[in-house]
Amino acid sequence: MKYVLVIPDGCADEPQQSLGGKTPVEAARTPGMDAEAQQGVLGLAETVPESMPSGSDVGTMSLFGYDPLKYHTGRAPLEAAAQGIELGADDWAIRCNLVTIIDGVMKSFTAEQIGDADARGLIELLQRDLCGDTRWKFHAGVSYRNLLLDRSRGTAAPYTAETLTIPPHDITDQPVEKFLPAGPGSADLRKLMDRSRELFAEAEVNQQRQQRGEPPATQIWLWGQGSRPALVPFQERFGLSGAVITAVDLLRGLGRLLGWEIITVPGATGYLDTDYAAKGAYAIDAVSQHDFVVVHVEASDEASHEGNTAAKIEALEQIDEHIVRPVHEALKQQPDGYRLLISPDHPTFLRTRTHSHGAVPFAMCGTGLAADSARTYGETEASGTSLRIRGHEMLPLLFDQQK
């Protein structure tokens, strides 16, 4: 049996007045997703517990069959794993965004999708400023997504469960003062953020960006801190091999910790301009080599963060045309049967431009699954079904391994 999970990140949303009361996925032309709902079962899943912040770190951990209340330690440790960074027992990883803050307001949590070269230049500037310091280590990632390590060197890190940091994508166009790090260890984080503002003001990278008519990255924003997680390998937990296709370090890291193959797709950007068709083609190839394949697409989430309804609909239609439909057709040729699952990791509302709590619609079809009465894939139809589960129960249901 072959299994595929397609994750349209942040797909779930509210009904939009501009769309005649439909949600984006309901307004989008998605015959592939609709066919999946018609041929299988449709339900609602709570991927993010109410007691935890909503984000892809929590949501995808749920989708991969791991209860985040038991296994989640923070977002940044997962991204550290993606870069092959080993964390010691007392080390902490912290997400480090390059952002643009003007007059105290978060204007862009991505520094307008800053390029890798510019981002690396600024991260290297920060590290040079810490020359000789054995505690802190900056690591360049992809675009605005970077990391800071707090190496314990035999001493306990100052952070606790009471250390509060806020994702910058949750405060777009808002004054940042009340969202700065708070609680144990926060003074150290705020000091580094303040220092970055001083360094970036004179940075050659930013001067060149402004000459090109691009906004500067005005500082770093630190959040998502966590220590090393202890995850049971996927093969040990479910008895299946796995692979993940994504352009996002978070999912690469989680996949690496689970023992999956990390498949890099040329043209996959983690943004609206990603190569959807290439992701679909690589997914079909991966099915021949693995029991379980995850295809993650960030574009729908990015569109929500930008409050761009048309872009979200376009992303969902591209996911349907170039990933869901061809992958489903390929799976139907599998001699030993298949199952296909589509589910967002969490809602991301266009209205608020942030991640949200709440149930997400999922559709599951394939060998041995009798069709229910669903006709389309979407929030409204799913809310009328009786199938309601917690997110980490989804894969056991897909694999027929419920206890």
Local mean pLDDT, 10-residue blocks, the chain (403 residues): 98 97 98 97 97 93 97 93 90 96 96 95 96 90 93 84 93 96 97 97 95 96 94 96 95 96 95 96 98 98 95 98 98 97 98 94 97 95 95 97 76
Question: Which pLDDT score is estimated for 49?
Answer: 96
Pull the structure tokens for residue 143: 């675009």
**pLDDT at position 403:** 59
Whole-number pLDDT of residue 89? 86
Q: Count CA atoms within 13 Å of residue 97 on its CB side.
A: 22
Copy the structure tokens of residue 279. 């992701």
Is the dihedral angle over the CA atoms 324, 307, 359, 255 positive or is it negative?
positive
Question: What is the per-residue burial (b if ≥16 Cβ within 10 Å, else e) of 178-195?
Answer: ebbbbeebbebbeebbee
Domain ranges of the chain: 2-72+230-398, 92-227
Residue with tokens 């797709």: 265
Query: Hey, what CATH class is 2-72+230-398 in?
Result: alpha beta
- Which pLDDT belongs to residue 154? 72
Name the pTM for this structure. Answer: 0.86
Residue 161 is predicted with a pLDDT of 87
Q: Are 25 and 338 in contact (CB under 8 A)?
A: no
Helix (H, G, I), strand (E, B) or coil at 265: coil
